[in-house]
Chains A and B, each alone.
Chain A
Amino acid sequence: MAIFNRNIVTKTVATLGALLVSASMLAGAAQAGETLDKIKSRGQIKVGVGTLPGFFSPDSNGKWQGFFIDFGRALAITVFNDPDKVEFTSSSPQQRLPALQAGEFDVLLSGVTQTITRSFKLGFHFGPIIFYDGQGLLVAKSLGVTKGSELDGATIGVQSGTTGELNIADFFRKNDKKFTPVVIEDTKEFVSALETGRVDALTQDASDLALKRAQFAKPDEFLLLPERLSKEPLAPAIRAGDDQWLEIVNWTVYATIQAEEFGITKENVDSFLTSEDPAIKRFLGVDPSLGEAIGLDPKFAYNIIKNLGNYGEIFERNIGKSTPVGFERGYNQPWTQGGLLYSPPFR
């Protein structure tokens, strides 16, 4: 007896989502200061996340762990100086944007790609980009290539129903090289195609490829090439209109990036407290004038680093080389080291 019809699930969710977003746009965007007031009276920050190994996932004891999770904890430290005053809720990709609009979350740290449509049509603000993702290429090390441009005449597996096929064609045309696409629908088959040698390379979002590699029997024998064939900048998203909350999100993320640029880590942060550098004194709140001016705990950056470490430590701990995900830093390192992470000055 099929009482509860599931066939129309996606359609309904999409329709309701659209309805809801337009309804809340009519109701007016968030007011400045409103979000922080709500958070403070509630006693915790509500964060919408997804479920993906290394990025956000509860461990065996039910405690949330992951790259994006740590940024949620950093926010809780900025506001409450307590990494646990935050509630993570996993939400499906169809649901997360309407849920943010409805006030279900204060911030989405679910790996939302920042786009112009989302900024204007859906009325979201985006914080700083915390993860530069994009379409990548995964190859067997035995192939002996280290760059995508060295692939000539390769057979490349693409999952059907994605924009990956167009991007890869563009990439090879630009490099004036030839390739043979193999379109594969099934995810398991897609993964095994590379392991069994049916294709020379797989192409998909780099984070997905890294997670798939982690499921291989011998992950060490495969290499994620450094090129990115598309732009998928993942940033925290908040409701438009609350500038104060946006700034808190911004500077919380910047603090982790700036700390790495300064070379301040979880281990050595206390030794920097005696630093004579005025920039570091301001940053760590030894000189409290900055914190007073912006209305935050002047030591918020210190507290974040002491608890969670700088951006690089958060990255390495959750998805870096030493973890099963084994993600290379790539664009996700400070501008001083050739990456794209750049924090405006703390002054």
Chain B
Amino acid sequence: MTMALSESIRRSPERNRLTGSARWALWRRGLFGSPVNLAITLGFVAFVLFVVAPFLRWALIDATWSGTAKDCAERSGACWAFIAEKSRFILFGLYPNDRDWQAAIAVALVGSLVVATGMPRFWNRRLVLVWIVVLGAALAVMSGALTRQLVPTDKWGGFPLTVLLSVIGFAGAFPLGIALALARRSKMRLLRWMAVAFIEVMRGVPLIAVLYVSTLIFPLMLPAGAAIDKLARAQIAIILFVAAYMAEIVRAGLQSLPAGQYEASRSLGLSWATTMRLVVLPQALRAVIPAFVNLGIGLFLDTTLVIVIGLFDFLNTARVAATDVNWNGFYSEAYTFAALIYFSLSYAASRYSLWLESRLRVGHANREGTRHRTRSA
């Protein structure tokens, strides 16, 4: 509401009638009108002078765009030649480099899947099937099924690994999270307790501990001779961890539904399962989509923690690229590059979330009510 109001003032015809000096007065009041405004203005100017300007000088003016590490050492700016030389390694890590295209296809498949899922027009039951098929295909291509030359998972790395870990982590956590949320609200006491115990334990420990247990302690518990792939173990750990957060989000969605919805469908004679499938979940899940996007962004960024179990995710390949003896120590460039990629994708996701929110609000303006309170800012 307030946003719409200020928008209408900004576009009002009165503003256009302001003379130059009056307009300046308005600016001056905004910039220097009160001690607080003055402090903010000065702080911002200082930020530009002491942070932004030196950064741009480093990143653009003094930068070296091509050549060798020696050329870079002679200039004081960023060494983008390093990124050019190492881009392949940063993107794909230890993946066999004559078959990088396989990893690229896997990323393209998963990327299109995510983008398509973002469009409300595809939201129907068939989407579940599409997810299973496309993720399966991406994994098959990545593991080298096309060329019949298997690429062991310890060679998977870089951007494809980050994308796969986060997208599969999210997709796997989704059904599990819904099941946990329903179990937590179940009338069966044992089921409810188990769900509560799982959710609280997972939310009570850091992801890094879950990963650590999956890599180091879990194999000790397996019978001798049995082994589960390390990447698979890490992936399962991520799914279980995210499912706990997912369950809480879904639970919030369930609680936001007025009791009348349940009562009405019961009085129509619908079974529990049908009630959930046709009445409750569609509304509850729709209400918490922004929270899902938020969780997704968080997960995408937090998969970098797999570095502690020795997996070469995107951030780790960027870091390790700077340990090449011929390109020693270009960590600032490596991290800047990685940050740029992470930021672009996260920013796109957050803009998408805003767009979706406004779209959902338009579609359901008549039912605007309590459930939108769960939306995160």
Given A4-B305, A61-B97, A87-B154 in contact, is the A9-B206 Cβ separation under 8 Å?
yes
Q: Could you say which residues of chain B place their CB within 8 Å of the CB of A98?
A: 216
Name B191-244 residues within 8 Å CB distance of A: 205-209, 212-213, 215-217, 219-220, 230
Whether A225 sits at the interface, judged by CB under 8 Å, is no
Whether A30 sits at the interface, judged by CB under 8 Å, is no
A24 touching B220, Cβ below 8 Å: yes
Name B89-141 residues within 8 Å CB distance of A: 89, 92-97
B328 touching A3, Cβ below 8 Å: no
Q: How many residues of chain B get a CB closer than 8 Å to chain A's CBs? A: 50
A4 touching B298, Cβ below 8 Å: yes
Give the docked Cα–Cα distance between A92 and B310 (Å): 7
Instruction: Select the stretch in A121-129, A130-138, A211-219, A236-244 that faces chain B.
Output: A211-219
Name B308-349 residues within 8 Å CB distance of A: 308-310, 312, 319-320, 323-326, 328-329
B324 touching A6, Cβ below 8 Å: no
A5 touching B206, Cβ below 8 Å: yes
Contact of A90 among B95, B213, B295, B310 (CB under 8 A): B310
Contact of B323 among A8, A51, A62, A319 (CB under 8 A): A51
A62 touching B217, Cβ below 8 Å: no
Whether B85 sits at the interface, judged by CB under 8 Å, is yes
Q: Could you say which residues of chain B place their CB within 8 Å of the CB of A52?
A: 323
Give the docked Cα–Cα distance between A48 and B310 (Å): 9
Whether B353 sits at the interface, judged by CB under 8 Å, is no
Whether B73 sits at the interface, judged by CB under 8 Å, is yes
A104 touching B89, Cβ below 8 Å: no
Given A24-B220, A60-B88 in contact, is the A12-B208 Cβ separation under 8 Å?
yes
User: Chain B's nearest CB lies how many Å from the CB of A187?
Assistant: 10
User: Chain A's nearest CB lies how many Å from the CB of B337?
Assistant: 15
Give the docked Cα–Cα distance between A90 and B309 (Å): 8
Whether A310 sits at the interface, judged by CB under 8 Å, is no
Whether A99 sits at the interface, judged by CB under 8 Å, is yes
Q: Could you say which residues of chain A place their CB within 8 Å of the CB of B74?
A: 217
Whether A289 sits at the interface, judged by CB under 8 Å, is no
User: Chain A's nearest CB lies how many Å from the CB of B80?
Assistant: 15
Give the docked Cα–Cα distance between A3 and B88 (Å): 32
Given A13-B212, A62-B95 in contact, is the A211-B309 Cβ separation under 8 Å?
no
Give the docked Cα–Cα distance between A262 and B154 (Å): 38
Given A60-B86, A91-B310 in contact, is the A324-B206 Cβ separation under 8 Å?
no
B325 touching A57, Cβ below 8 Å: yes
With both beta carbons as reference points, the residue of chain A lying nearest to B297 in the complex is identified as: A1
Per-residue 0/1 for A144-186: is the Cβ within 8 Å of any B Cβ (1 yes, 0 no)? 0000000000000000000000000000000000000000000
Whether A307 sits at the interface, judged by CB under 8 Å, is no
Contact of A16 among B212, B219, B326 (CB under 8 A): B212
With both beta carbons as reference points, the residue of chain B lying nearest to A60 in the complex is identified as: B89
Given A60-B88, A323-B325 in contact, is the A8-B206 Cβ separation under 8 Å?
yes
Apart from A57-B323, A95-B310, list 5 A-B contacts with CB within 8 A.
Answer: A6-B208, A51-B319, A65-B325, A216-B73, A324-B328
CB pairs A–B below 8 angstroms (14 shown)? A1-B376, A3-B298, A16-B209, A20-B216, A23-B220, A54-B325, A57-B320, A57-B323, A62-B97, A89-B154, A90-B310, A95-B309, A99-B216, A214-B328
Q: Which B residues have a C-beta under 8 Å from some C-beta of A?
A: 69, 73-74, 85-86, 88-89, 92-97, 152, 154-155, 157, 205-209, 212-213, 215-217, 219-220, 230, 245, 294-295, 298, 302, 305, 307-310, 312, 319-320, 323-326, 328-329, 376
